Amino acid sequence: MRALIISADNFEDSELLVPYYRLLEEGIPVDVASPARGTIKGKHGYEVRVDKTLAEVVPDDYTVLILPGGKAPAVIRKEAAALAICRHFFGHNKPVAAICHGPQTLITAGLLKGRRATCYQSVAAEMKEAGALYEDSEVVVDGNLVTSRQPSDIPAFCREMMKKLKG
């Protein structure tokens, strides 16, 4: 079992770091992928080492995909490799956990039509336009997909993500 987090600069620090450490706590290795190697810096100043570029990711190597929010998804959703990774996870019914603005990447990948999901309130209209069945809840689980709205929802987000991983 291995986890993949996709993000870029200006991520929401808690939405990347809390799931990252929660997975490590369970003994699940985590790779962070971004458009370029080096480090990415969160909105509140935390830096995270990038393990792989998006182009280097082999989706079959991972069990779960995490998409944190903040402003990073505005960059990630423009990356063809990120969209292909998301489509692979959905196509193989692997768990995908997206919080806050994270679902924007799934919207761009065309993966939310007819799916129950939530997101940060400013993304809700875009999510609805993409055909998602938007719910204003701390966490929404629809099959392999786990979504949450904001940092205060992280406990529910991680709880449901871990349930997906533990089967």
Residue 60 CB-density burial (10 A; 0-12 exposed, 13-18 middle, 19+ buried): exposed
Give 155's contacts (C-beta < 8 A, 6+ positions apart): none
Could you list the active site residues? Answer: 101
Measured distance CA(120)–CA(134) in Å, rounded: 11
Angle value at C-alpha 2, between 151 and 101, nearest 5 degrees: 25
Which structure tokens are listed for 162? Answer: 């871990």
Measured distance CA(40)–CA(94) in Å, rounded: 26
Angle value at C-alpha 137, between 114 and 99, nearest 5 degrees: 75
Measured distance CA(137)–CA(144) in Å, rounded: 17
